[in-house]
Amino acid sequence: MNRLLAAVVGMTVGYALFMFAGYRLLWLLSHKQPEHFFDSIYTAVFAIGPAGAVIGLIAGLLIAALRPESLIITVLSLLMVRKYRLRRRAPSATSKKH
């Protein structure tokens, strides 16, 4: 259920973001004035928006797969291992060879 919800939210947000951004980009880059408005809308709704929905679906599923709790634990454990390795490599003042 969590993955399904994340997938639907990702698709919706991805579609909306790509549709509006694509419309604006096409509006700025198009040189045809009479058909300018409809070409931009149709391309944004039927081409760029669905591409954004697919990208949003993939992003939603990835976010659902990487649960925030497990992601935080993974990052913290990696930081602790790195900190331990750095401490281990640094020469201590008491272990000087004479």
Q: Containing domain of residue 25, as a range? A: 2-89
Output the CA torsion sign for 21, 27, 31, 36. Answer: positive
In the chain, what percentage of residues exceed pLDDT 70? 62
Identify whether 96 is part of a domain. no
pLDDT in tens, 1-49: 677 887 888 899 899 999 999 888 888 887 766 567 787 888 888 999 9
Number of domains in the chain: 1
Q: Residue 38 is encoded by which pair of tokens?
A: 């409809």
Identify whether 85 is part of a domain. yes
| Phi, psi (degrees; rounded to nearest 5) at 92 | -90, 160
Identify whether 26 is part of a domain. yes
